[in-house]
Structure 1
Amino acid sequence: MREPGAHGPAHAGHAALVHGEAVPRQRVDALLTAVPARDHETRPEVPARAERQRRRWATQVVVTDELARRTCAERGLAPPDEVSPIRVLAVAGTDVADLGSIVAASLAHSPAARALLAELEREQEVPETAVRDYYDRNPDRFLTPEALRQGVDAFGGAAPEHFLPYERAREGIARELRRVAGQRAFFDWLDRARAGVVYAAGYEHPGDPSHPDHEHRH
């Protein structure tokens, strides 16, 4: 969302407004300093565009942190002490694939975002029927180590003894389904929370089609 007009002096130097309150550009700059540019973003032929997109990407991470802080406070979750954390944990490639680069980096950057995600996961109720259905639909995931060594086909010719019993698999399945449901709840929360954000020019979402450098990279 592009900011629709000039701001008063009180908002000078901000990257975004969250429900009318300024998020300073210094928080974006601190994150950019903490996260080195990727190799393809430092090639001589694309430095200006890449740096603009890096700034927009970093703005999304900082805004997500700010939104998570506010939501944690509303929910009574203990907020982190730091106002502008610059310690960024490593972001696993699998997390980027599962969550998208912005959300994965936000969780690595923001203790508040991690606390909120953990709370949302705890809130998820996974019905027993869903756990059993997952077990029944994915027999290849529950072959015993011996069956795997023997090359047993989970979908043809396998005997009951080739599978981990449901009672032993149940807890792990429920935990995984709860994790996935928690991630969906986090995405839903973030979509709703972003509705109250207005970005300064040059700090828009990287995928915002209203600026010429936009790219759809979450």
Structure 2
Amino acid sequence: MTGDYAARVHGEEVQKERVDAFLRGGSATSQRGAGRVDMRLRRVGATSHDRPAAERQRRRWATQVVLIDELARRTCAKRDLPPPPEMQPPSTLTVPEADVADLGSIIAAALAHSPAARALLSALETEQHIPEEAVRDYYDRNRDRYLTPEALRRGVDPYGATAGPADFLTYNQVRDGIARELRQAAGRTAFFGWLDHARTGVEYAPGHEHPGDPSHQDHEHRH
């Protein structure tokens, strides 16, 4: 039915009902880690003057979460990945604080609630090659992260002249963890690049534009 879509991806419609279902299920919590998400889902305390704008942005924000799920689902199919489960409207929408800070609330929410987005991110992480030199360089440049518990208790300055080899975890002890962190970071960068490219074929219905799109009056610079 004409007008029942929130967006078109290369001409194929993403139905408004998917956004509505996500909004109906997405009752946000106020617990630690969900602050920015809570603001976008349920502007508790919003005045009668700013409530319409908040509701418009709430819908635009939810459209982006649903769209990422749709784009990821299509990309998983193109990559012959196992079909991920459908995204279910969350009964409670919570996203770790660190993920919101690192990824932005839209991508963090999509990864928290879209099996397809998580599957794609996992595939991208697996594809990243981290050279041994990069792992070693990270270890050498971040000595403060690898003090032993005893050195931490003594307040050893990791970059001071008195710090000795015994004050640090060895490279072999932490090497796999560093490589995992660097691979995760590289995978996230690849995911951002994929999303920027995938969005180029998207057309939004009025009222479903990106929350940061400056062409509408309620736009925000945050993601």
TM-score under structure 1 length normalisation: 0.92
| CA RMSD, Structure 1 to Structure 2 (Å) | 1.4
Q: Which residue of 2 aligns with 1:92?
A: 96
Question: Which residue identity does 1:44 align to in structure 2?
Answer: T
Q: Is the 8 A contact 1:16 1:200 kept in 2?
A: yes
Question: Which residue identity does 2:22 align to in structure 1?
Answer: L
CA shift in 2, pair 1:80/1:89, >3 Å: farther
Give % identity: 64
Q: Which residue of 1 aligns with 2:184?
A: 179
Q: Does 1:144 align with 2:148?
A: yes
Question: Which residue identity does 2:63 align to in structure 1?
Answer: T
How many residues are treated as equivalent by the alignment? 208
In 2, distance between residues paired with 1:44 and 1:64?
A: 31
Q: Is the 8 A contact 1:121 1:178 kept in 2?
A: yes
Q: Is the 8 A contact 2:27 2:93 kept in 1?
A: no
Superposed displacement of residue 89, structure 1: 5.8
Question: Partner of 1:78: helix, strand, or coil?
Answer: coil
Question: Partner of 2:117: helix, strand, or coil?
Answer: helix
In 2, distance between residues paired with 1:130 and 1:89?
A: 36
In 2, distance between residues paired with 1:193 and 1:78?
A: 20
Q: Does 1:62 align with 2:66?
A: yes
Q: 1:216 aligns with which of 198, 210, 221?
A: 221
Q: 1:44 aligns with which of 40, 44, 47?
A: 47
Q: Which residue of 2 aligns with 1:107?
A: 111
In 2, distance between residues paired with 1:105 and 1:81?
A: 16
CA shift in 2, pair 1:89/1:74, >3 Å: farther
Question: Which residue identity does 2:107 align to in structure 1?
Answer: V
Q: Is the 8 A contact 1:11 1:22 kept in 2?
A: no
Q: Which residue of 2 aligns with 1:33?
A: 24
In 2, distance between residues paired with 1:81 and 1:98?
A: 25
Summarize deviations over 1:27-61 as a string: whole Å, max 9, x none.
Answer: 00111112125367132232111000000000000
Write out the 4+ residue segments of structure 1 that deviate beyond 6 Å after TM superposition.
none
Q: Which has the higher contact order (CA 8 A, sep 6+)?
A: 1
